[in-house]
Structure 1
Amino acid sequence: MTHRHLLATTATAALLFTSPLHAQTAAAQDDSSAATKPSDIIVTGSSRPERRFDVDYAVNVLSQKDVQKIAPKSMADLLSNVPGIQVEETGGEVQNVTRLRGIPTDRGYLLFQQDGLPLFQELDGYFFNGGDGMNRNDLMTDHVEVVRGGPAPIYGSSAAGIVNNITVTGSNVARGRAQLTIGDTGLYRLDAYQAGPLGHDTYYAIGGFLRYHDGYRDNGFPNDKGGQIRANIKHDLASGGSIKISGMYVNDHNSFYLPIPVANPNNPSQSLNPWINYFSGTMNSPTFENVNIKYRDGSGTVKSINRDLSNGRYMNFFNAAVDYEDHFGPWNVSVKTGFTKGKSSFDALYSTTNPQDANTFANSYLTAARTAFGSGVTSLGYAIAGTNGATPYNPYSQSGLVMSAQYRATNSNFYSWQSDASIARQFDTGLGHHDLKVGLYGAIWGETEFGVYQDYLIPVTGQPQTLDLVAYGASGNVLGYVTDNGALHDASTLAQGKVDSKMIALYANDTWDITDKLRVDAGIRQEWYHYSGWAANTTAVNLGNATTLADDATQAFTGSIKINTLSPSATNWTVGANYDVSHHLGAYIRASRLVIPASSSNMMSTSASTISSKAYQYEAGIKAQAHGSYLYLTGFYTKFSPLNSSFAAYNATTGLNNQTVTFISDVVTKGIEGDGHVKVNRFFSIDASVTVQDPQYKNLSSGTSADLSIVEGKQIIRDPKIYGHVRPTFDFDMAGNHASLYGSYEFVGRRFVDASNNTALPAYGTFGAGLIVTRNKWLFQVVADNLTNAKGLTEGNTRTDTISGQGTADAVYGRPIFGRNFRVILSKSW
């Protein structure tokens, strides 16, 4: 990795402490007469702006100042500071894994919004998502509001939680900021924004970022390159309302890190670090910057496409939105509408099979090679791909292991229009005060898909070359190839399709203040969907190249399509109550149901799923604040069903655990999450966040007589029982400068790669540190992560592990956390 020592001297002063989350926003001052800070106010999940302390659900607010101190590497890194959200941020800068309160999906049904609307209607498009795949934090983000559970199912589609990015808007005072970030992983980033008056009652804001990054792992090419720009014009109306027109454009490339082998599966005590470095190694390689993938189209013609791995996940889209709010007597009216159009291409090298001994792997193809090339085949050997066997490769000169990897190439064009109109009114009755909101939400969206995967043979080493597996005769002559210029299977997967969708939703929510201490809140949302799509049918064919086995089962389009339509519906509800003992102490309870219809992308499949899932969330919270400190504790119970999974069960015929069983289960998670801020004195404070939970498989069933007890009650794949952070901060003044010296300890408990809990992902903890010095309008910051180079794995190898693990007690294959790294930030405000 280049630039690795760029910041070592500069960062020395920061290495004594770790990084705080001053982010959970102190909800109120010491008494009711104290002024409420702007960062105390939340709008997500409520009928109108309210203090965090006053609402009856779990919500966190991350201000721009908070984000500055956290200095997150990605949006997922930022969300890891919020309790109840477990994050795997090891995939790179975008499209990482977030799980909310044990919900067992890669997104956790955590809906992202920008100013109250999603950029894409569904959580996931075709190899992109509407979360951190489309939302990137920069200085144009004023603050981020994160709702966990609570009323989220009422204010968003398929939303067990909401992340709402509130953008900067202008005011009568001109202001701006420019920020430069340099990191020792080859990171160069420029952020800037400018906001101010544009005319009478009219204001503007514009900003964005440009970034180039070699990456936390050494691909041999840049990991991230590109940026975004966002702008808006707001006009205040004489009636007290406003209208805002917004636009954004994203053009960004981000490489995807996949799991790597870290130990020899045949000898787990043998580290593979000499061949693929734990912290900087990756199977990504310049070898894949010009790959040729072959498949057959519907007319019978063999097609070849060239792809470039350095293209990464390429997002290119724009969004335009209008936000109108006004008052008509006692009625508050809000109309939001937005339109997104763009394209996504995706190039990534996925892990497939676990590494194997090179001789064992070769011998497994010997019979097939003799069948194809004749009994004269005496041996199989390795050569550098494309050399016609003339450049032999000896795997035992390195690790002695080989493996397959899958190049995935996809394209998608997408669009999404979404609009929300609501009216709200407050009124008094003989028994308390009501705040009623009724709304209509609609969306029209669609996308196309084209995807082709090709499997390659590679050695176990960083930035690998591709290998040919060559069939030799007795005299060493080449008789044929198992591979085709490094390709182990030409076009092992092929897909093409299109879908257009629409939905409409009616929702209502009533907040009833029975007394000044007791509040009851209830809401309902009814959704109607319609999907119409098609998927191209495929079949396996032999492309007819007699010199290789790689094309014997190549996927091909048949020329026919499967038409799919689906019209699901969903009814979501929530009810909660809040009681404030005083301005310093309160408690709440909440129950909600979320129905998650099958996604529209199923209509681009020849085996479309029509199953809806449900998530029931129950929570009870205690909140306390005094003298600048606060504590929020929330107990939760989540039930998600149905979950479709598979595992290896006991086979009565063979007497072995080798019967692959697909089963349906519930997922039940009980837990408690807490976040707090303790202000010890004006110099020293501590922020902390922790989640303790017990995520389990429950109520398993299948259509077989398999023994399901080996999974019943086991810990959910990849979900820990504990995770969180502790972040102390020491603030002081020196020589006219204000300084914050801060630090962090972040921890993740043990997880498992498989449903049977055979192979563990061990617990880990990392230390970080930071220093911020401000003088007048200048800010200097240095940030250090994972100071001790602690080791930790996420994910495992999901292509092979989920049934029975990796055959070892601890994982030997996974996505390692990033190693020690430093960033220096310099900014100027005006």
Structure 2
Amino acid sequence: MKEAFNFQVILRAMRISLYQVVVAIWALGNANAAESNAQTLLSKKISVNLNNKEVENVLQNIEKQISGKFVFSTKIIRGDRKINVRVKDQPLYKVLDETLKPLDLTYRVTENLIIISRTSKDGAQSLPVVKSKAPNFTVSGKIKDSKGETLGGVTVLLNYKSNGVVTDINGAFSFVDIPEGSYTLTISSIGFTSVKKEIQVIGGDLQIDVEMKDDILQLQEIIVTGGNPKKKIESSVAITTINNKDIQTRAPLNSTDLLKAIPGLTVESTGGDGPGNVWVRGFPQQGGYIFLGIMEDGLPVLPTGYNSLPSVDQYYKTDLTIKNIEAVRGGNASIVMANTPGAVINNLSYTGAEKTYGKFKATTGLSQGLYRLDGNVGGKVNSNIRYNIGGFYRTDKGIVPPGYTANQGGQLKGNMTYNFKNQKGFVRVYGKYLNDKVQWMLTSFYPYDGTGKPTKFGSFDMVNQSLATIDTKFSYKSADGVTRNYDMSDGIHTKQGAGGFQFNYTTDQGWEINNNFRYQHTNMNVTAGIPASNVAYNGTTQYYYLDGTAASLKSGDRLVNVTGVTQQLEDVQIVNYLDLKKTFGNHSLLFGAGIHQYNRNDGPNYNFSYLQEFKEKPRRLITSPTAAQITPLTLSTVIGDSRTLSAYASDEITLNAKWRLDLGARIDNQNVDGKRPFYAYKADGTPDYTKASTLVIADYTNYSENVTNWSATAGLNYKINNESALFARATRAYNAPNIADYNATAYDPAKIKKRPVYLGEIGFKYAKNDFSLFASASYSAIKNVSLSITVPTISSGNQSLLAFGSTRTYSAEFEASYKVTKSLNLRLTGTVQDSKYTDYSASTNTNSAIVAILGDTTYSFTGKRTERVPVLNTELSATYDYKKFNIYLAGSYIGSRFTAPSDSYKLPAYALMKGGAGYSFTKNLNARFWVDNLLNARVLTEGDVRGDQFRDFSAVEIGTMMPGRALLPRSLWLSLAFEF
């Protein structure tokens, strides 16, 4: 029986906090350890200097300095009474004795829980209804979750003499010597919404069982991203949390797909496992992750600000090693990470536990030949050392099969933590090896019909047929005599090694020191074909395949001109953040400094062109059996070092038990040293920076740029009660250029402008019984963002038109959860936003090739909607649990979008369904089946994004071939998981 109880605690490890696990172990009889831990806790030295503050406020202040938690009822202990406390470096027991005794309060310690109650002489005052001389009785019961499993470590308060207990490993609690009367039970536990239950003790003992509901929005969860750890309900920013259970239920196709669970983000994951696009609160961009920062365990995996190459989603992968994800939207995101005004996504890994745990999962993609194995295990080596190790490996033919293995590889992650014996901190070392190749699913072609939908051309359907050529290999002998071999089946191949450590220690003076360091080396080879144009076969030219055989082409066939991208990206990153934290009175101060060294040496990066058939699994074409297989176009490099030095500070001021003021500021100094290529000399022998890229780099110009930017934020949180709160925040942030901007061949300092970002938001949080809500309204604006418009030309290929734009966005974001029945839970998330350009014009005279086509013209897009951002983006999901079955169904609605700032081409709104069903054979073994794009919706996510802002679509002939990218077709998946 005892072993079964231990096993139950392990199964609940994801849903209860560390102190609850410790309490459960204590309940098994480890009394000596409990007494020792209690003595250690009470001997902790603290300092308090508070005048005329509420008792509750004083206890909250002390709680920040210790490794324990106070349990009390504010009403019963009269926590609104104001007192003065002035002590310095005194043991906790002495402070509590001297502070609580005059208030007729006492305390007792259960592991790291300190339960505050009234003394017996005051106890009679708390009796709501008591019959004199009546016998006293026992109130007892059990606490269970929605599945009927008992919960240990749950706090249960009874409003009689401030009685408070913690449930044992069986979920049981008991209060003795309770007179007849009416009372209130208050039950709380992290991971669940709090419960208040009215009871009556009449004529005998009372046995009562209470069911706790999952805190779906995790408002009571402790948030570690963005300052001092605190509950989500106490934070003055918009935060979304996604735990491991949510990840498994949603079954995202890739790391980008998972971000669809976060309001405020517009996510396009139609690139498959290749680079995705994420828009944040309407900020303008062509794609990528320009305003979104991605972290792993508190450190950035790539500087924010890049589009597709490099793409941050290739630097990290979502698997079973991820315990939960914290997404800070707006607010203090710009204080957490340099150059990140939109949002920060922090992926937090498992780090071991008191008991051994693990999970292994085998997955197959029934519609695409995918086989994947995930695993993660953790536990402890001894009483001081804990570990976690896990990763995945998969091979995949692709949802839209290109004719070869599309995705193959995986990663291995691990960490080990040594906890100091004095319980004042830890040292953690960690490492990661990633070796993964993915197909970059790029645009294809469809015949235009005015509907904005991906129509078929003959037998070719861009939704489920790939334009990737099966003739993947080619060679090129460069000007330096080196023969370079390429294979497009290698796609985006990322090899990365990373390692680091975290040091955390709290001094006797109350200073918490936290240093987080990581070294990371990444090699990424990119070989992909970007369809550039689709032309009709002239009916007379004889083409040949690469093996010399004649191609069978007929009138009505079409050919595709492709730009082959071959890039060799390499970077070395050194990141170190040092934080110092201390509580002074009602101030929780944080001072930090960081360095992010990002060294890039990319290249040689060649672009080629070639011709291929327009059909599924096409072959490349040449004009004669001996003709060159590819045509080389340009050569480029990115060589440089970017070093960002940061200093930041925050102060979380507890004004009283309800009001909390958060202040933060950050300053970032970016120094970029590099070698900018140029391709010709002027007659006087000086570099000609206006010369377009060719196949030979004439030389390099050394450059050094130094820029300083700053961010500041202020937030206010009003905690109405333990179930609800209001918050407001104002922020000034920035968006900075990256090394690729400075490395541009035709670099012009006038094209680099300051890009301030302004944000304001208000929000409401609520969680009680069956309903949870997190809603916010925000304003965001950016000035002078650099925008690049791609214009296709016949003679010069795709040309870029550079301009600047400013936008403003009004948005409302919401997350709501409702437990309809014991088995059925509904969740609604979404974003409503109005994003428009407030100042945006583009002149063609900055590019002679474009002037030749469009003339010397200035286009104004002021007042137009931001491209590819819908007004409404929402998802309604339902989870139903019945005995051993689990069913999940989600429907998303994505509103209409414009493909470019001209608002000339509108893509229609669409609905997307996904769902799954699971069955638990035992508590350890379960199977799951799910479907993505359940109804097989046919939707364009991109239209003609290359120059359509200059096109009059009313004059476009029906059937004209246009580039676009479509939603991935329906896919079927099956997994079998074993967990212990």
Task: Report the TM-score range of the alignment, normalised by the length of the smaller protein.
Answer: 0.7 to 0.9
Q: CA deviation at 1:731?
A: 1.3
Match of 2:544 in 1: 384
Aligned 8 A contact 1:754 1:803 in 2: no
Tell me which of 776, 785, 792 is aligned to 2:932: 785
Q: CA deviation at 1:357?
A: 2.8
Unmatched segments (≥5 aa) in structure 1: 1-24, 363-379, 471-477, 541-552, 650-658
In structure 1, C-alpha distance between the alignment counterparts of 2:822 and 2:719, rounded to whole Å: 28
Q: Give yes or no for the alignment of 1:356 onto 2:535.
A: yes
Tell me which of 681, 691, 695 is aligned to 1:556: 695
Q: Give yes or no for the alignment of 1:158 onto 2:327.
A: no
CA deviation map 1:106-137 (0-9, x unaligned):
214111111100123445398223x3211101
In structure 2, C-alpha distance between the alignment counterparts of 1:197 and 1:319, rounded to whole Å: 23
Tell me which of 624, 641, 658 is aligned to 2:783: 641
Tell me which of 794, 797, 822 is aligned to 1:682: 822
Between stretches 49-58 and 265-274, larger displacement belongs to 265-274
Aligned 8 A contact 2:275 2:308 in 1: no
Q: CA deviation at 1:337?
A: 0.7
Tell me which of 390, 394, 398 is aligned to 2:553: 394
Aligned 8 A contact 1:499 1:603 in 2: no
In structure 1, C-alpha distance between the alignment counterparts of 2:776 and 2:322, rounded to whole Å: 27
In structure 1, C-alpha distance between the alignment counterparts of 2:450 and 2:632, rounded to whole Å: 30
Tell me which of 299, 302, 317 is aligned to 2:496: 317
Shift in alpha-carbon separation, 1:701–1:603, aligned structure 2, 3 A: closer
Tell me which of 676, 679, 691 is aligned to 1:538: 679
Q: CA deviation at 1:694?
A: 1.3
Tell me which of 876, 879, 887 is aligned to 1:726: 876
Counterpart amino acid of residue 227 in structure 1: G
Match of 2:101 in 1: none
Counterpart amino acid of residue 598 in structure 2: W
Shift in alpha-carbon separation, 1:262–1:382, aligned structure 2, 3 A: same
Q: Give yes or no for the alignment of 1:621 onto 2:760.
A: no
Tell me which of 387, 399, 407 is aligned to 2:564: 407
Counterpart amino acid of residue 79 in structure 1: L
Shift in alpha-carbon separation, 1:31–1:458, aligned structure 2, 3 A: farther
In structure 1, C-alpha distance between the alignment counterparts of 2:858 and 2:196, rounded to whole Å: 56
CA deviation map 1:271-300 (0-9, x unaligned):
43543323321211221x212345434xxx
* Percent of residue pairs identical: 21
Match of 1:272 in 2: 456
Higher relative contact order (CA 8 A, sep 6+): 1
**Helix, strand or coil: the match of 1:199?**
coil
In structure 2, C-alpha distance between the alignment counterparts of 1:273 and 1:819, rounded to whole Å: 17
Aligned 8 A contact 1:630 1:676 in 2: yes
Aligned 8 A contact 2:215 2:767 in 1: no
**Helix, strand or coil: the match of 1:602?**
helix
Q: CA deviation at 1:685?
A: 1.2
Shift in alpha-carbon separation, 1:817–1:808, aligned structure 2, 3 A: farther
Report 1:590-739 matches (<5 A): 590-608=729-747, 610-645=752-787, 663-701=803-841, 711-733=861-883, 738-739=884-885
Match of 2:905 in 1: 759
Q: Give yes or no for the alignment of 1:133 onto 2:287.
A: no
Q: CA deviation at 1:587?
A: 1.5
Shift in alpha-carbon separation, 1:492–1:27, aligned structure 2, 3 A: farther
Match of 1:333 in 2: 513
Q: Give yes or no for the alignment of 1:453 onto 2:607.
A: yes
Aligned 8 A contact 1:28 1:51 in 2: no
In structure 2, C-alpha distance between the alignment counterparts of 1:270 and 1:319, rounded to whole Å: 42
In structure 2, C-alpha distance between the alignment counterparts of 1:811 and 1:637, rounded to whole Å: 39
Q: CA deviation at 1:610?
A: 3.8
Report 1:90-109 matches (<5 A): 90-105=270-285, 106-109=288-291
Match of 1:502 in 2: 643
Match of 1:143 in 2: 324
CA deviation map 1:505-545 (0-9, x unaligned):
110011112121111111100111211111332369xxxxx
In structure 2, C-alpha distance between the alignment counterparts of 1:149 and 1:805, rounded to whole Å: 37
In structure 2, C-alpha distance between the alignment counterparts of 1:164 and 1:404, rounded to whole Å: 41
CA deviation map 1:19-67 (0-9, x unaligned):
xxxxxx9784246999998964343444322211111111111111111
Shift in alpha-carbon separation, 1:266–1:575, aligned structure 2, 3 A: closer
Q: Give yes or no for the alignment of 1:769 onto 2:920.
A: no
Match of 1:16 in 2: none
CA deviation map 1:168-196 (0-9, x unaligned):
11122011111101111111100011111
Q: Give yes or no for the alignment of 1:741 onto 2:882.
A: no
Match of 1:587 in 2: 726
In structure 1, C-alpha distance between the alignment counterparts of 2:800 and 2:738, rounded to whole Å: 26
TM-score (norm 2): 0.71
Match of 2:152 in 1: none
Shift in alpha-carbon separation, 1:745–1:265, aligned structure 2, 3 A: closer
**Helix, strand or coil: the match of 2:506?**
strand
Match of 1:256 in 2: 440
Aligned 8 A contact 1:587 1:621 in 2: yes
Q: Give yes or no for the alignment of 1:521 onto 2:662.
A: yes
Counterpart amino acid of residue 633 in structure 1: A
Between stretches 38-47 and 715-724, larger displacement belongs to 38-47
**Helix, strand or coil: the match of 1:409?**
strand
**Helix, strand or coil: the match of 1:571?**
strand
Tell me which of 397, 417, 422 is aligned to 2:574: 417
Aligned 8 A contact 2:293 2:303 in 1: no
Aligned 8 A contact 2:305 2:736 in 1: no
CA deviation map 1:54-100 (0-9, x unaligned):
11111111111111101111111111111111110010114211111
Aligned 8 A contact 2:805 2:837 in 1: yes
In structure 2, C-alpha distance between the alignment counterparts of 1:47 and 1:387, rounded to whole Å: 62
TM-score (norm 1): 0.83
Counterpart amino acid of residue 205 in structure 1: N
Q: CA deviation at 1:386?
A: 3.8
In structure 1, C-alpha distance between the alignment counterparts of 2:768 and 2:727, rounded to whole Å: 18
In structure 1, C-alpha distance between the alignment counterparts of 2:602 and 2:945, rounded to whole Å: 23
Counterpart amino acid of residue 149 in structure 1: G
Unmatched segments (≥5 aa) in structure 2: 1-189, 198-209, 682-691, 792-798, 846-855
In structure 2, C-alpha distance between the alignment counterparts of 1:773 and 1:691, rounded to whole Å: 33
Counterpart amino acid of residue 531 in structure 1: V
CA deviation map 1:736-787 (0-9, x unaligned):
xx22112011121111222211112222111121112222111111111112
Match of 1:548 in 2: none
Match of 2:653 in 1: 512
In structure 2, C-alpha distance between the alignment counterparts of 1:625 and 1:124, rounded to whole Å: 38
Counterpart amino acid of residue 595 in structure 2: G
Q: Give yes or no for the alignment of 1:825 onto 2:978.
A: no
In structure 1, C-alpha distance between the alignment counterparts of 2:801 and 2:696, rounded to whole Å: 30
Q: Give yes or no for the alignment of 1:115 onto 2:297.
A: yes
Shift in alpha-carbon separation, 1:720–1:232, aligned structure 2, 3 A: same
Aligned 8 A contact 2:475 2:483 in 1: yes
Counterpart amino acid of residue 780 in structure 1: A
Counterpart amino acid of residue 324 in structure 2: H
In structure 1, C-alpha distance between the alignment counterparts of 2:952 and 2:504, rounded to whole Å: 54
Report 1:480-499 matches (<5 A): 484-487=627-630, 490-499=631-640
In structure 2, C-alpha distance between the alignment counterparts of 1:660 and 1:120, rounded to whole Å: 25
Counterpart amino acid of residue 383 in structure 1: Y
Determine which structure has more spread, i.e. the larger CA radius of gyration: 2
